[in-house]
Amino acid sequence: MSYVIGVILLAVITSLACALPGVFVVLRKNSMIVDGISHAVLPGIIVGFALTQDLNSPILILGAALAGLLVVLGNEWLSDTGLLAGDAPQGLIFPALFAAGIILVSMDLQHAHIDTNAVLVGDLNLAVFPALIVNGVNIGPEYLYVMLAVLAVNAAFIAVFYTRLKLTTFDRQFANVLGMRTRLLNTAFMFLVSMTVVAAFKAVGAILVISLLVVPAATAQLISKRLSVMMALTAVFAVAGALAGFWIAYVLNTGTSAAMAVFYGAMFVTVALTAKIATHIRRNRRSSKSTAAAISAPNVGAVAGE
Amino acid sequence: MTPIACECRDLSVAYREDPVLRRVNFCVPTGSVMGIVGPNGAGKSTLIKAMLGLVTPLAGTSEFFGKPLDDVRNRVGYMPQSASVDWDFPTTVIDLAVMGTYGELGWFRRPGKAERARAMAALEQTGMQAYASRQIGELSGGQRQRAFLARALVQVPDLYFMDEPFQGIDAKSQQAMIDVLKDLSAQGKTIVIVHHHLGSVLDFCDHVTLLNKSIIASGPGEETFTKDNIRIAYEASDGAEAFLAEAG
């Protein structure tokens, strides 16, 4: 597999793997918790890397994901105790852990050579190394298969639990009355999100992963009346952004993940403005139509009133 | 003696340190329309939430048709306060009504034609069929409540819990909903309804519970909905005084 194809495929698969759970992250208004996870898992990733010397290691990914989940649950518990108001627990826990991770990186722990810059924004162009060689044939980046596995797990989870995820997200209390295990489902889902964030870390870094998770879904929600439509549009936006981001980075000779994040932002603004203008036009047309109807049939109201 | 649709014994609830309900004993005869009335902060919503397990009580037990909730969930319907959901959620009115079937679908089945037909029938009952393909955020307050009522109807429960269904709705929607309630009552269904407007309680409730952290009175409306009981429940608050003055 050629280098360029490897980077493009990796960008597309990573963006899809993040965007699918992103739909529910956006609808549950959990975006900032996910941002928190992406920061809080950093020490876990660094320690894991020092131990395994491999960012693709499933042990590292699952271990760091578990640590991320613990942070989410700890966050919920801290909120429940009422010691801190609102989202203050997030401001308390996540930056401290992130900073601990940064210190670990700069300490060159066990000679874990991770570039601070790569920690922040990742590097898709480097993430394609090493390639997976089967029977002497290069079948693409090893990391591509890690992200494919994450995408498959995410897609399967959403497919199996679709109605439950939908109902607990929309109306948790009603779901509880129907007997759904909403807390368990929430914990499983947050674990999946945590795992996705850790896995995508190598490609897009701790700061930019939130963009891949949140922006395609947030853009899709602007123009979706139904959840199934929102899911499909999210996938379309995610892939479009990955391809455009790669192309921009290629032309400008810059980082793919950063170009993707910028394109996602521009895409959201464009769709938001278009949707706003479209509603405006529709409303004007509707009101001029109803005025016309009132003029052409002035007696309708009077007849109905009789 | 009439059989009991639901009851709770010695139910106590606290949010953090504040007690909300104190040793509440509450029982609803089968086939009645029970209004739960009381001032703001009296614990009306909390009472039904605690019975349904949405709020964990400090103490006390609840039973439905003589059994714990887990055994009879398919016979119990719930209509939450409309303010509790996100109106930007990408779902249409018909989708919302179909959610009433989710409890019986099991793990892998998706709602299909039969479920949509049932949802449509429920929307017709509440006069919402014309809005079936609207996104829920495009509805007025009254239309929203009628859509939620339709979802509860789709469940075909024997016992309905409704939390402030008449809040912020227009006269037309209110009449449409009262018609449905009377229909359900005529079919022998039991309805527990949290209500805050004293003037209209007896329009559709035959039983009334006056609540203010503990039960003041509970039973047939003509016995319990008395000036003295209202005064005790509302501790002579302005709204109740105005109502009592009007009632003479």
Please give the single-letter amino acid code of residue B247.
A
Mutate to test the interface with A, among B99, B116, B151, B162 (most CBs of A within 10 A): B99
Find out whether B85 and B163 touch, Cβ atoms under 8 Å.
Answer: no
Helix axis angle, A31-40 to A182-222, nearest 10°: 110
Hey, how many other C-beta atoms are within 10 angstroms of the C-beta on A197? 30
The pLDDT of B179-203, averaged and rounded, is 92
Q: What angle do CA A119, A124, A125 make, to 5 degrees?
A: 115
Q: Helix (H, G, I), strand (E, B), or coil: what is residue B219?
A: strand
The pLDDT of B44-49, averaged and rounded, is 95
Token reading at A214 = 């949140």
Nearest Cα residue to B212 out of B15, B78, B2, B24? B24
Nearest chain A Cα distance for residue B99, angstroms: 7
pLDDT mean across residues, chain A: 86
Partner-chain contact A177 B73, CB within 8 Å: yes
Handedness of CA A234, A236, A237, A241 (dihedral sign): positive
- Chain A residues lying within 8 Å of B6, measured CB to CB: none
Please enumerate in sequence order all residues whose Cβ is within 8 A of that of B227, keeping only pairs 6 or more positions apart, or say none: B244, B247
Find out whether A17 and A154 touch, Cβ atoms under 8 Å.
Answer: yes
A109 Cβ under 8 Å from any chain B Cβ: no
Greatest extent of chain A over all pairs of C-alpha atoms, in Å: 89
End-to-end Cα separation, chain A, in angstroms: 78
The pLDDT of A145-151, averaged and rounded, is 95
Partner-chain contact A173 B103, CB within 8 Å: no
Instruction: Report the alpha-carbon distance of residue B162 to residue A54 in Å, rounded.
Output: 55
pLDDT mean across residues, chain B: 91
**Helix or strand (DSSP H, E) at B104:** helix B102-105
How far lies B196's CA from each of A132, A245, B152, B209, B239, in Å? 67, 55, 21, 12, 10
Instruction: Please name the member of A164, A179, A226 whose beta carbon is closest to the beta carbon of B73.
Output: A179
Find out whether A260 and A247 touch, Cβ atoms under 8 Å.
Answer: no
The pLDDT value given to residue B115: 95
At A238, the pLDDT band (50, 70, 90 cuts) reads very high
Nearest chain A Cα distance for residue B198, angstroms: 27
Mutate to test the interface with B, among A81, A157, A170, A223 (most CBs of B within 10 A): A170
At residue A305, does pLDDT exceed 50? no
pLDDT digits (tens, 9 = 90+) for A261-290: 999 999 999 999 999 999 899 888 877 766
A232 Cβ under 8 Å from any chain B Cβ: no
B72 Cβ under 8 Å from any chain A Cβ: no
> Of A163 and A1, which is predicted with more confidence?
A163
The pLDDT value given to residue A298: 45
The pLDDT value given to residue A123: 79
At residue A299, does pLDDT exceed 50? no
The pLDDT value given to residue A306: 32
Instruction: Report the alpha-carbon distance of residue A180 to residue A36 in Å, rounded.
Output: 27
Instruction: Report the alpha-carbon distance of residue B229 to residue B208 in Å, rounded.
Output: 11
Partner-chain contact B103 A179, CB within 8 Å: yes
At A134, the pLDDT band (50, 70, 90 cuts) reads confident
B83 Cβ under 8 Å from any chain A Cβ: no
Nearest chain B Cα distance for residue A173, angstroms: 7
Partner-chain contact A179 B16, CB within 8 Å: no
pLDDT digits (tens, 9 = 90+) for B196-222: 888 889 989 999 999 999 999 999 999
Partner-chain contact B90 A224, CB within 8 Å: yes
At A117, the pLDDT band (50, 70, 90 cuts) reads confident
Please enumerate in sequence order all residues whose Cβ is within 8 A of that of B154, keeping only pairs 6 or more positions apart, or say none: B97, B98, B99, B100, B101, B118, B119, B122
DSSP-derived secondary structure letter, A59 = H
DSSP-derived secondary structure letter, B58 = S
Size of chain B in residues: 248
The pLDDT value given to residue A273: 96
Find out whether B26 and B7 touch, Cβ atoms under 8 Å.
Answer: yes
Q: What angle do CA A24, A25, A31 make, to 5 degrees?
A: 160
Find out whether A32 and A43 touch, Cβ atoms under 8 Å.
Answer: no
Size of chain A in residues: 306
At residue A110, does pLDDT exceed 60? no
Nearest chain B Cα distance for residue A227, angstroms: 5
- Chain A residues lying within 8 Å of B111, measured CB to CB: 163
Instruction: Please name the member of B70, B80, B107 whose beta carbon is closest to the beta carbon of A171.
Output: B80
Find out whether B166 and B199 touch, Cβ atoms under 8 Å.
Answer: no
Give me the domains of chain A, ranges plus CATH numbers: 3-208 (1.10.3470.10)
Partner-chain contact A171 B54, CB within 8 Å: no
Nearest chain B Cα distance for residue A85, angstroms: 14
Find out whether B118 and B154 touch, Cβ atoms under 8 Å.
Answer: yes
The pLDDT of B37-61, averaged and rounded, is 93
Hey, how many other C-beta atoms are within 10 angstroms of the C-beta on A251? 9
Give me the domains of chain B, ranges plus CATH numbers: 4-83+158-247 (3.40.50.300)
Handedness of CA B49, B53, B56, B60 (dihedral sign): positive
The pLDDT value given to residue B18: 85
Buried b (16+ CB within 10 A) or exposed e, B215-235: bbbbbebeebbeeebbbebbe
- Chain B residues lying within 8 Å of A226, measured CB to CB: 90-92, 95
The pLDDT value given to residue A48: 83
Instruction: Report the alpha-carbon distance of residue A194 to residue A94 in Å, rounded.
Output: 13
**Helix or strand (DSSP H, E) at B170:** none
A177 Cβ under 8 Å from any chain B Cβ: yes
The pLDDT value given to residue A113: 66
Residue in the structure block whose two tokens are 């089968």: B30
Please give the single-letter amino acid code of residue A21.
P
